[in-house]
A and B are shown apart, each in its own frame.
Chain A
Amino acid sequence: MEPASSLKHTKHIFRVSFLLGFVLIVMILSRGLFVPKSWGQYGWYRGDAVPEHRAKPVVHGGDQSCRECHEDQYDLREEGAHVGVRCEGCHEPVGSHVINGEMTAPMFIPASFELCTGCHRRLAARPDDFSQVNPQQHLEDNEMDLTDTVCTECHDPHSPF
Chain B
Amino acid sequence: MGHELIGFLFPNDVHIHWTLMIVLYPYVTGLVAGAFIVSSLYHVFDREELKPLGRFALAASFCFLSVATLPLLNHLGHPERGPMVVVTPNFSSAMAGFGILYASYFLVVILEIWFVFRADMIRYAAESRGFKRMFYATLALGVYDTSEEARALDHKITRILAAIGIPMACLLHGYVGFLFGALKSNPWWSTPLMPVIFLFSAVVSGIAVLIVLYQLAMKIKGMPIERETISALARWLWLFMIMSLTLELLEIMTLAYEKAEEWEVIGPLLANQLSISFISVQMVLGGLIPLILLGIVVVMGAYMDDRIRNTLSMVASLLLLMQVLAMRWNVVIGGQMFSKSMRGFRDTYVPGMFEKEGILAAAAILILPFLLLVVFERILPTFDHLGQKTGDLNLDLDSEPRLG
Contacts and interface: CB of A to CB of B under 8 A. Distances in A.
Interface of A: 8-13, 15-16, 19-20, 27, 30-31, 34-35, 44, 121-126, 135-136, 146
B118 A34 contact: no
A10 B153 CA distance: 8
Contact of A146 (B1, B92, B111, B339): B1
Interface string B89-125: 0101000000000000001000100100010000000
Given A13-B153, A35-B88, A123-B9, 17 more contacts: A9-B149, A10-B153, A12-B141, A12-B145, A15-B142, A15-B143, A16-B111, A16-B114, A122-B5, A123-B5, A123-B14, A124-B7, A125-B8, A125-B10, A125-B339, A125-B344, A146-B1
Contacts of B10: 125
A9 B87 contact: no
A30 B114 contact: no
Nearest to A121: B5
B147 interface: yes
B153 A15 contact: no
14 contacts: A9-B145, A9-B150, A10-B153, A12-B141, A15-B143, A34-B84, A44-B90, A123-B5, A123-B11, A123-B14, A125-B9, A125-B11, A125-B341, A135-B1
Contacts of A20: 107, 111
B88 A34 contact: yes
Nearest to A124: B8
Contacts of A122: 5
A125 B342 CA distance: 12
B88 A31 contact: yes
Given A34-B87, A125-B341, A16 B141 contact: yes
A125 B1 CA distance: 19
Nearest to B86: A27
Interface of B: 1, 5, 7-11, 14, 84, 86-88, 90, 92, 107, 111, 114, 118, 140-143, 145, 147, 149-150, 153, 157, 339, 341, 343-344
Contacts of A135: 1
B155 to A, nearest CB: 12
Contacts of B107: 20
Contacts of B141: 12, 15-16, 19
A146 B118 CA distance: 66
A124 B145 contact: no
Nearest to B13: A125
Contacts of A121: 5
A9 B9 contact: no
Contacts of B157: 13
B40 to A, nearest CB: 20
Nearest to A28: B87
B149 A8 contact: yes
Which has the most chain A C-beta neighbours within 10 Å: B84, B88, B92?
B88
Contact of A126 (B11, B86, B140): B11
A146 B1 CA distance: 9
A121 B9 CA distance: 12
A139 B335 CA distance: 32
B133 to A, nearest CB: 18
Contacts of A136: 1
Contacts of B140: 12
A56 B83 CA distance: 30
Which has the most chain A C-beta neighbours within 10 Å: B141, B147, B153, B157?
B141
A-B pairs, top 7 by smallest CB distance, nearest first, are A12-B143, A9-B150, A9-B149, A124-B8, A15-B141, A11-B143, A125-B10
A59 B141 CA distance: 58
A124 B264 CA distance: 17
Contacts of A27: 86-87
A34 B90 CA distance: 13
Contacts of A124: 7-9, 343-344
B104 to A, nearest CB: 11
A122 B10 CA distance: 12
Contacts of B86: 27
Contact of A9 (B14, B142, B153, B339): B153
